[in-house]
A and B are shown apart, each in its own frame.
Chain A
Amino acid sequence: MSREKILAAVKKNQFTHAPLPDLEILNSLTATGDNLTQQYTSVASAGGSFVYEVKDWKAIKTILHKEFKPGVKIISGIPELDEYTYAGSVLDESSHSFADTELTILQSNLGVAENGALWLTESQMNIRVLPFISQHLAVVISKDALVPTMAQAYAQIGNADYGYGAFISGPSKTADIEQSLVIGAHGPRSLSVFILT
């Protein structure tokens, strides 16, 4: 059995015990400064996201109406945005059936100012493929849900249980052809972030 063979070889060759370092100092640093919204906006914009500071749901609706023509397939995982197909109601459909989705709107409860990343778990995505297969993605996050760095982000995630979770920090992109940045590789061609103040 390879399992036993590998584990035995590893056991034989691993050296004396080295302790784990303390993460406390890193956790206590807030290197990104006090104004997290500003920091978030500037990093996320540099990564190709469109960031809007909005007062309420109405403001979000106004922007969405302006950006997306009626008639396209829009799926929302947010009960407040109820004029669109609610993601929770199409859970039975095969992942492949979302291939023609123009826009998906989801809620995140954790954003990271240092890198523009938004944490979404399966329960917020409803269907795992949704934030990847849609032509465009929008995420709503409250201003209070921003933390300075990944250190605080993981402190907050803690030992939460999820089947799948992802940090998403912008639109899908690539720079594989002569290092020229192209937005819209396989996933969404744009990411709009609505920060609710």
Chain B
Amino acid sequence: MSNVTGKTHPQLAAIFNQDEPRVDWHDETLWWVRQKRDIQAHKLPEWELLRETASQIKNNVLSNLSTYLEQFEANAINNGVIVHWAADAEEHNKIVHQLLQERGINRMVKSKSMLTEECHLNEYLKEQGIDVIDSDLGERIVQLANEPPSHIVLPCIHKKKEEIGDIFHEHLGSAKGESDPKILTETARQHLREVFLTRRAALTGVNFAIAETGEFVICTNEGNADMGAHLAEIHIASMGIEKIIPERKHLGVFLRLLTRSATGQPITTYSSHFKRPQQGTAIHIIIVDNGRSIQLGREDFRNSLKCIRCGACMNTCPVYRKSGGHSYHTAVAGPIGSILAPNLDMKKYADLPFASTLCGSCSNVCPVKIDIHNQLYKWRQVIVKEGYSPTAKTIAMKAMAFTLSSPGLYRSGGKMGRIVFKYAPFAVNNGLNPWYKHREMPKTPEESFGEWYSKRKEAKQ
């Protein structure tokens, strides 16, 4: 479902921007979530210590990942869990399909998992004739709307309650015109309860997998992962190789950071630790690479594998808030998604590292201290060098590089710029200037720093 149109971030953002009041509403809602995060973060005097500790734990994980993966696997097997490995999305999807086929199951209930979005599991299973129902309310809504999630934590943050009311009226039989979140949630509850009670297979994601014990943890507010997993005869858990943490006690660090960063809650309603299958049922874990080991080898970008998918970088990003998650045409949108996606396909996602102001707000809120904006900046250079740069950006960046490398031109350019702004603003503010198109141009200073400085020097003499 991602970017079937082949459009780039600026083009997709332009579509989102046509509805200005909606952009403002989207912007304000996410900023409100960001503020809730701040309130929670400020309540803990040890917040920065927690972030630093989390980041160091993840450093250790990335430096020992192969050992931890083997340790996790051995312990999980010991616990009676069946472990599978998938090199890429296709292999992951095939394993899921085969597990269902073996048991003659053609209907599955699924809890939130961005990894399965990344693998396009739902579409794949649909083609194989398997009915998949997403059970997280936000995911169910976008699934009924036939759209991908637009945010990793808040999948339908782009939708108005009236639109959701229409979708529920059409698919779940709620009253026409009903848009009360309470009533709509109750409608979904009734519908999904029936699903939980009739599905023999449940698939969930994995928030944390513990090498030391072979258990894995899933965090939800709705309890949908547990309802699915505990009522099904087979529980399939899909995890990326980077989800490993060394020991159980490290959960104490990550669970304190995750939801405070994500939604401003002190913890999710449910943090469920799965170690052994319930009597008479089976747990299968699929450990997925899908480009992660390559990213591990890219020194400048390996830190992106520390991500715990809290979404804080999206909520704070001025570009994300004003362009909407779908404009990133990849499963994980926003700042972190723009680092992860070019690793998978540099050409297809060459536009994403440019979808940032590099203001650094993302790096400031990241609970595991990923230097997000630096990595975006570094991707731009790699992409330009490799020749994948979006054309408009290449021309503009070349012009910039040329101007910056020539002090004479830079100085006169500044002077010229100010004159042009003053007397011919239309020359700058037109569709032909690619820089203007993506930026609010600054107000021109009366005199340049260079001019001011030389005057000052003259005055002193």
A20-B56, A129-B227 given; A9·B289 CB < 8 A: yes
B381 at interface by CB-CB < 8 Å: no
List 7 additional contacts besides A155-B249, A185-B222; criterion CB under 8 Å.
Answer: A21-B52, A128-B230, A149-B256, A162-B273, A182-B185, A186-B192, A187-B222
Pick the residue among B29, B53, B87, B136 that contacts A21 (CB under 8 A).
B53
A107 at interface by CB-CB < 8 Å: no
Per the 8 Å Cβ criterion, residues 10-49 of A in contact with B are: 10-21, 23, 25-26, 29, 31, 43, 47
B266-279 contact mask (Cβ, 8 Å, vs A): 1 or 0: 11111111111110
Size bin of chain A's contact surface: 35 or more
Closest to A114 in B: B266
* A6 contacts B274, C-beta separation under 8 Å: no
Closest to A13 in B: B297
* A172 contacts B273, C-beta separation under 8 Å: no
Measured between beta carbons, the chain A residues less than 8 angstroms from B59 are: 18
Residue in B65, B182, B197, B230 with the greatest tally of chain A CB atoms within 10 Å: B230
Measured between beta carbons, the chain A residues less than 8 angstroms from B155 are: 176
Counting from the closest, the 9 A-B pairs by CB-CB distance are A187-B223, A13-B297, A115-B266, A176-B138, A185-B222, A9-B293, A129-B230, A163-B276, A177-B181
A-binding residues in B (CB < 8 A)? 29, 32-33, 44-46, 49-50, 52-53, 56-57, 59-60, 62-66, 69-70, 85-87, 91, 135-138, 141, 154-157, 159-161, 164, 181-182, 184-186, 188-189, 192-193, 196-197, 213, 221-224, 226-227, 230-231, 241, 246, 248-253, 255-256, 263, 265-278, 287, 289, 293-294, 296-297, 299, 302
Measured between beta carbons, the chain A residues less than 8 angstroms from B44 are: 31
A12-B297, A129-B230 given; A176·B154 CB < 8 A: yes
Pick the residue among B66, B69, B253, B275 that contacts A23 (CB under 8 A).
B253
Bound CA span A87–B63, Å = 46
Per the 8 Å Cβ criterion, residues 114-170 of A in contact with B are: 114-117, 128-129, 132-133, 149-151, 153-155, 157, 159, 161-170
A90 at interface by CB-CB < 8 Å: no
Instruction: Count CB-based A-B contacts (< 8 Å).
Output: 250
* B221 contacts A164, C-beta separation under 8 Å: no
* B192 contacts A177, C-beta separation under 8 Å: no
* B53 contacts A176, C-beta separation under 8 Å: no
Measured between beta carbons, the chain A residues less than 8 angstroms from B154 are: 176, 179
A6-B85, A26-B50, A178-B160 given; A13·B56 CB < 8 A: no
